Structure 1
Amino acid sequence: MLSASSRDRNKLRVPLALTALAVLASAATIVPATAAQASSVTDTWNEAAYRGHVEVVRGRDGSSDASVLTGTVFVDDDRDSVSDRNERGLAGVLVSNGRDVVTTDSRGRYRLPVYDNMTVFVTQPSGYQVPVDESNVAQFHYNHLPEGSPALRYGGIAPTGPLPAAVNFPLVRSHLTKSSEQHCVIAGDLQTYDKEEVEYARKGAIGDLSRRDDYRGCGTLFIGDVVGDDLSLYPDVKGLTSLTNGPARFLPGNHDLDFDARSAEHSFDTFRAQLAPAYYSYDVGDVHVVALNTVRYPCTPEVDNADGRRPQCNNPQTRPAYTGRLDDNQLAWLERDLAKVDRRKLVVVAGHIGLLNFADESSPIHQVAQVGQVYDLLKGRKAVAVAGHSHSIENMRTGDLVKGWRDVYGVERLPFPHITAGAIAGDWYSGALTADGYPVAVGRDGGRPGVLTLDVKGSSFQERYTVTGESDRVQTQLGVNSPTYRRWYAERDAWNDTREGTAPELGDPNVVDRADLAGRTWLTTNFWMGATGSTVSVRLDGDRPRPAVRTQPLRGEAQLAGPEWSDPHAVAQQLVNGGSVADRAMHLWRFELPADLAEGRHRAVVTATDSYGRQFTDTLHFRVVEQR
């Protein structure tokens, strides 16, 4: 979201054992399972990595024709980033100025029209790798802005001067990017607001990635909100990516803005200068990744509020704001880029603000205005959309629908899967610190911090969410939603507003009494990657498995929110330790406990099965008493 006030910055510095989390974690036991794919990493990435840069050839007076940029895409056999006479050009490679898309000729040459403030970039072809710098940041673009950015707090783009005589893009052959099997890490909302939070990320998800080596070909795509408004932290972010084991690429988010830019033309100049183009594409295996800039700032009334749905855009000079939109150049580029892509490839459409999401399903700001146009461009293709922004985990399948998508955008069903990738920051690094030194940061949907991986074979994929610090087998969290819990929820929520008197206490959340059972008590399962086609079953005290019911089936209904639809495991932490409140989720299942359940201890074994048939087992112990 736009401002720091939209997130809870009150990170409690208390031992985890003193929080409600410890009570719940001790009650819910994860059945031991196979270890995560993370392994002891050797120097294989450092040995394979091609370190270099784009070759910019300066003539004495620049280019002889200032209206056309020329250059070559070449195979850099000696890995010195310089196009030597004996190094061949590579034919059939896409190069773009952010509007036009051309294909290199038989000698690897290209010609592109020139306009001020353009970024020229190459689309990495499968079987080749673009250079990375010492921080593993992919190097594949050149910014052309002769006079440089207007005065901006964080510098923007320095004057580039006259058009170069040539911009040449070096590549090396790579078996890693040629393989039809790829593992693409999608990292949502790193969003560090200060150096302390940079350290949280290093100890958390970045530390996990440093111990994995399965993503060396596809790399990591950080899908926006790389930092939290302070763009001077970009060097610190590069310090984090230097610990990863693959190319690092970035997309801009609404917290990566040059907020002092007077027009959208320059709102991501510092991001472009230090990290990446605002949008681009690249290939690995049988995958074509389209990395979009879905944030427009400042939005304006004539462009963004013509339909009256975005009144926050009406005062761009006095009250600048952002919205979800692609500009005209980007839409033109997207159409031309896709027109040159083999229709048998899987297209991954990545953006910070999602084309559509569940958490903000009725908001015209936090989804993309031209979602219908993007769908038209992708018609008939295998595709998946991935996004961040909402700090939630959402696995939405083809055919899913919620009321807001229909009401705001006229969408009747999703034409392909959409996944909201969670956040490395989780709920903005809120809550108590774990024993490993980073905050619990449980999200607004009960999700935990982590990263998404697309495991690809050919043009098919399976999604995988890895919770920070956990095995890939940890995919669920269990809780008990009872009348006692729901009363406490309301009382504690009200107390948090006033802080008057003694704070209401929940007590042991896994104890229920007769009144609770008579008033409807559910065992809840938050299955983070659960989706349409997933199932959850419960074996109570060794009895036969019985199905749990998904609370939000995504069949056109409105979003359901409140204590009855909440994740009690998450809320018990959040209302005590700060952060958002998990009062809704599209991946929550619940099983009603029998009203005549005997007094004493009980054991519930929960099996969550995803749409690919993968099963995850979790166990909850709880106790029934006559009266509290």
Structure 2
Amino acid sequence: MAAAVTGSLTLVAAPASAAPDDGAGDGYRGAIEVVPAAEEGSGDDSVVTGTVFVDAEESGAAEGQEGLADVVVTNGRDVVTTDDEGRYELPAFDNMTVSITQPSGYQVPMDENNIPQFHYNHLPEGSPDLEYGGIEPTGPLPEEVNFPVVESEATADDAQSCVIAGDLQVTDEEEVEYARAGAINDLSERDDYAGCGSLFVGDVANDDLSLYPSIKELVGETNGPARFLPGNHDIDFDSETPEHAFDTFREHLAPEYYSYDVGNVHFVAMNNVDYPCTAAEDSPEGVEEICSDPEGDPSYNGRISDEQMEWLEQDLENVADDKLVVVAGHIGLVNYADEGEAQHQVDQAAEVHELLQGREAVAVSGHSHSIENMEAGDDAEGWNELLGIEDGLPFPHITAGAISGDWYSGEVGDGGFPSAIGRDGGRPGVVTLDVEGNQFQERFSVTGESDDVQTQLGINSPAYREWYEEHSDKEDGGAPELEDPLVVDREDLDEGTWLTTNFFMGSTSGDVEVAIDGEQGGTAERTQQMEGEAQNVGAEYSDPYAVQQQLVHGGSIADRAMHLWTYDLPADLEPGAHTAEVTATDAYGREFTDVLEFEVVEDRV
């Protein structure tokens, strides 16, 4: 099936970002300074101390350099700020991560792979015996843990572009190369996000954590800091307790949860994957069954630990009321794709909403391998029944899609990566938040395409629906191709045939207009109104282009989407070639034009 032809675009300009450092070459490189205790038992093991300092000499050593006041420092439980000399003191305990919140106007050092260095893991004896290693023994508590930063005009700028990247989720080295040829190559050619960087929102690997070194090399090709948070495929599955379930992730990539500032934005990177899970008193219906046997049959659930919730509340107390707060987690606080399943949403979604009441905020996530742009006020049946969310969402929630798309399924194209069309008909890619002050505009970049590719067109005819019903069980591919998918006959038009527009980041404020053969047309109708109803699922709510690719070449089936619009083709169309011109307009007035050519015949032969 031929792809739709992309036409013109009117785009609100994205804010430009400066290079990530000011005079430090291709980025401020370095590490935290860990000063070991003079001898074991000589220090006070009950507290961890140190300095946040401006590394004017770029030596990585605190001695002789100026301390930085009012920087937030945490051990994962307690939150403090540095004094006038940049000093901090926190309670110490085994298996803690000490980290700082990067302040706006400063940048923490990055390693050779662009991964920020702003934390210290303290686990004296190291992890228990884990397949992928976990955390190496750290030994006694250091005398000091010091955190260097440099001044940065880039992170001070109120104009930021911040990449949100879902589910890299590579299974093996072949898929590492798919990612490199696809989204990583795209990011390597962009320089608009260098100040804010990229945030990979979980499922960085696909269970094989030995791939972390290869993944780190991948992000070394991007431009700007590359941050990570954990997903349900980043678990040390041989850990018997949640305490060590993400040790290998922590050793290689980042703390389980942390925060950082750029411009007038405060990012909170959360771990909302509970493994091995147990149901809590406030868990929604269904969680108890999923988490009933944490020892014999362990599973995961979308939940934030009590300790982390306490940390979040303390963290937000140090955030100015006028900042934009971006709450990021692998599992969406809520999502559309799994709106009726508690495991794939977060138990405390309503509690997080309450913590952010009155603030400018947006939630971002991955996990569902779907693209979802949910506005304040949007509602779904499952959110109320499972999570107690009434009157719709209080602020936007964005599911960023996946770099892996539908787990790298489908045909490998000329670009060297698979089509991997998702179960919502969306294509692989990344989301960017273009921020000005505390306001943002979201945009989606399809892997391997320019930013004017935002829609996907198809024809949903009786012939297509009959083919769908006959072959819808072939998720592994192998269905025969639908003959002449862009040809409809008189009977098709009489029985109901419509043009479909999959507007990848289309929200409920979006609009889709259709013109047939250059004549004034009409307004397409959104298949999912997001007014508290359940999902609409089936052939009539599907994306025909996506489904034909999936049933023939393999992958999930795009039988539902929150961003699909339909337009009934007139029953009196004359035989011959016709053109449908589609103009999709997003919530910010940006217009995207797409064109589809189709043919009407009197009767199929």
The TM-score with structure 1 as length reference comes to: 0.93
List aligned pairs for 1:421-432, cutoff 5 A: 421-432=400-411
Change (3 A) 1:302 1:356: closer
SS of 2:227 mapped into structure 1:
strand
Partner of 2:329: 351
Instruction: Tell me the CA shift for residue 99 of structure 1.
Output: 1.0
Q: Pick one of 423, 438, 458 that aligns with 2:417.
A: 438
Checking the alignment, whether the CA contact within 8 Å between 2:475 and 2:557 is kept in structure 1 is no
State yes or no: 1:477 paired with 2:453: no
| Per-residue CA distance 1:534-555 (angstroms, 9 max, x = gap) | 1000011111131000000101
Distance between the aligned counterparts of 1:402 and 1:435, measured in 2?
Answer: 39
SS of 1:544 mapped into structure 2:
strand
SS of 2:307 mapped into structure 1:
helix
Distance between the aligned counterparts of 2:86 and 2:325, measured in 1?
Answer: 25
Checking the alignment, whether the CA contact within 8 Å between 2:286 and 2:342 is kept in structure 1 is no
SS of 1:310 mapped into structure 2:
helix
Partner of 2:352: 374
Distance between the aligned counterparts of 2:534 and 2:124, measured in 1?
Answer: 50
Partner of 1:314: 292
Change (3 A) 1:211 1:249: same
Distance between the aligned counterparts of 1:321 and 1:263, measured in 2?
Answer: 12
Distance between the aligned counterparts of 2:13 and 2:245, measured in 1?
Answer: 39
Distance between the aligned counterparts of 1:409 and 1:54, measured in 2?
Answer: 41
State yes or no: 1:593 paired with 2:569: yes
| Per-residue CA distance 1:384-423 (angstroms, 9 max, x = gap) | 0000000000000000001010111111210000000000
Distance between the aligned counterparts of 2:474 and 2:410, measured in 1?
Answer: 18
Partner of 1:623: 599
| Per-residue CA distance 1:235-290 (angstroms, 9 max, x = gap) | 00011011001001000000000000000110000000110000000000000000
Q: Pick one of 526, 541, 547 that aligns with 2:517.
A: 541
State yes or no: 1:419 paired with 2:407: no
Change (3 A) 1:518 1:186: same
Partner of 1:561: 537
Partner of 1:15: none
SS of 1:281 mapped into structure 2:
strand
Checking the alignment, whether the CA contact within 8 Å between 1:511 and 1:622 is kept in structure 2 is yes
Paired positions, count: 600
Change (3 A) 1:115 1:495: closer
List aligned pairs for 1:453-468, cutoff 5 A: 453-468=432-447
Partner of 1:608: 584
Instruction: Tell me the CA shift for residue 117 of structure 1.
Output: 0.8
What stretches of structure 1 move > 3 A for 4+ residues in a row? Answer: 32-38, 41-46, 301-310, 494-499
SS of 2:59 mapped into structure 1:
coil
Change (3 A) 1:155 1:488: same
Partner of 2:115: 137
Distance between the aligned counterparts of 1:597 and 1:178, measured in 2?
Answer: 57
Instruction: Tell me the CA shift for residue 493 of structure 1.
Output: 1.8
Distance between the aligned counterparts of 2:112 and 2:425, measured in 1?
Answer: 37
Partner of 1:112: 90
Distance between the aligned counterparts of 2:96 and 2:236, measured in 1?
Answer: 17
SS of 1:47 mapped into structure 2:
coil
Change (3 A) 1:117 1:497: closer
Checking the alignment, whether the CA contact within 8 Å between 1:136 and 1:242 is kept in structure 2 is yes
Change (3 A) 1:160 1:303: farther
Which segment drifts farther, 279-288 or 298-307? Answer: 298-307
Checking the alignment, whether the CA contact within 8 Å between 2:324 and 2:438 is kept in structure 1 is yes
Instruction: Tell me the CA shift for residue 64 of structure 1.
Output: 1.7
Instruction: Tell me the CA shift for residue 84 of structure 1.
Output: 2.1
Instruction: Tell me the CA shift for residue 309 of structure 1.
Output: 3.5
State yes or no: 1:524 paired with 2:500: yes
Instruction: Tell me the CA shift for residue 124 of structure 1.
Output: 0.1
Q: Pick one of 242, 261, 265 that aligns with 1:264.
A: 242
Distance between the aligned counterparts of 1:560 and 1:306, measured in 2?
Answer: 23
Partner of 2:171: 193
Checking the alignment, whether the CA contact within 8 Å between 2:410 and 2:554 is kept in structure 1 is yes
Give the RMSD, CA atoms, in angstroms: 2.0
SS of 2:316 mapped into structure 1:
helix
Instruction: Tell me the CA shift for residue 161 of structure 1.
Output: 1.1
Distance between the aligned counterparts of 1:490 and 1:483, measured in 2?
Answer: 11
Distance between the aligned counterparts of 1:399 and 1:34, measured in 2?
Answer: 27
Partner of 2:380: 402
SS of 2:297 mapped into structure 1:
coil
List aligned pairs for 1:183-332, cutoff 5 A: 183-301=161-279, 309-332=287-310
List gaps (5 residues or longer) in structure 2: none
SS of 1:621 mapped into structure 2:
strand
| Per-residue CA distance 1:92-146 (angstroms, 9 max, x = gap) | 0000001110010000000101121110100000000000000000100000111
Q: Which amino acid aligns with 1:286?
A: N
| Per-residue CA distance 1:590-622 (angstroms, 9 max, x = gap) | 000111111111111000000100000000000
Partner of 1:451: 430
Distance between the aligned counterparts of 2:182 and 2:518, measured in 1?
Answer: 37
List aligned pairs for 1:5-84, cutoff 5 A: 23-25=1-3, 28-33=4-9, 47-61=25-39, 64-84=43-63
List gaps (5 residues or longer) in structure 1: 1-22
Change (3 A) 1:420 1:154: same
State yes or no: 1:583 paired with 2:559: yes
Q: Which amino acid aligns with 1:567?
A: D
SS of 1:204 mapped into structure 2:
helix
Q: Which amino acid aligns with 2:293?
A: N
Distance between the aligned counterparts of 1:525 and 1:408, measured in 2?
Answer: 31
Checking the alignment, whether the CA contact within 8 Å between 1:475 and 1:529 is kept in structure 2 is yes
Partner of 2:152: 174
State yes or no: 1:511 paired with 2:487: yes
| Per-residue CA distance 1:303-326 (angstroms, 9 max, x = gap) | 686855431211111111000000
Change (3 A) 1:344 1:218: same
Distance between the aligned counterparts of 2:110 and 2:20, measured in 1?
Answer: 15
Change (3 A) 1:405 1:495: closer
Q: Which amino acid aligns with 2:298?
A: P
Checking the alignment, whether the CA contact within 8 Å between 2:53 and 2:147 is kept in structure 1 is yes
Checking the alignment, whether the CA contact within 8 Å between 1:35 and 1:471 is kept in structure 2 is no
Instruction: Tell me the CA shift for residue 183 of structure 1.
Output: 0.3
Change (3 A) 1:495 1:217: closer
Q: Which amino acid aligns with 2:483?
A: G
The TM-score with structure 2 as length reference comes to: 0.96
Checking the alignment, whether the CA contact within 8 Å between 1:495 and 1:504 is kept in structure 2 is no
| Per-residue CA distance 1:467-503 (angstroms, 9 max, x = gap) | 001010100000000111000001112466897xxx5
